[in-house]
Amino acid sequence: MNITDIVGFFQVVVPYLEVILVVAFFVISLANRLIRRFLSTTILPLDAQNLLRRIIVYGLWFAVLMHVTAVLKLGEILYPLIGASVLVGAAVALAVKDALSDAVAGIFLLLDRHFNIGDEKST
């Protein structure tokens, strides 16, 4: 593969990627608004609504990133990096497992609604 093949590839692919990213931006923005509108009708606390909405939006952006990676044929370069990042993520998760368990417990307490933020213990 010589340099003219690479330049030709990017001349074809870059406009396609620009269209994908612009369309993805508008679709994800629309999805964000729809999710926000749908979640506002639920009984979930505002914190849980925001967390769920962000997880969905980040998942959509991750899917767009994976599609762009596939179009650019960067899988051979990124597979080892993804594998290494999984190992680093597992090590960090084990290092902060107590803080993560407290955060998850807090989310469950917010969703359970036995008491609200600011409630005090009565004696």
In this prediction the pTM is 0.62
Is the pLDDT at 43 greater than 90? The verdict is no
Is the pLDDT at 18 greater than 90? The verdict is no
Identify the CA nearest to 37 among candidates 25, 26, 23, 53.
53
The contacts of residue 110 (CB under 8 Å, 6+ apart) are 45, 47, 48, 117
| Residue 104 structural domain | 76-123
Residues 45 and 80 in one domain: no
pLDDT of 5 reads 66
Q: Measure the CA–CA gap between 99 and 90, rounded to whole angstroms.
A: 14
Q: Per residue in 44-76, pLDDT tens? A: 888 888 889 999 999 999 999 888 888 877 778
Residues 80 and 31 in one domain: no
Residues 67 and 84 in one domain: no
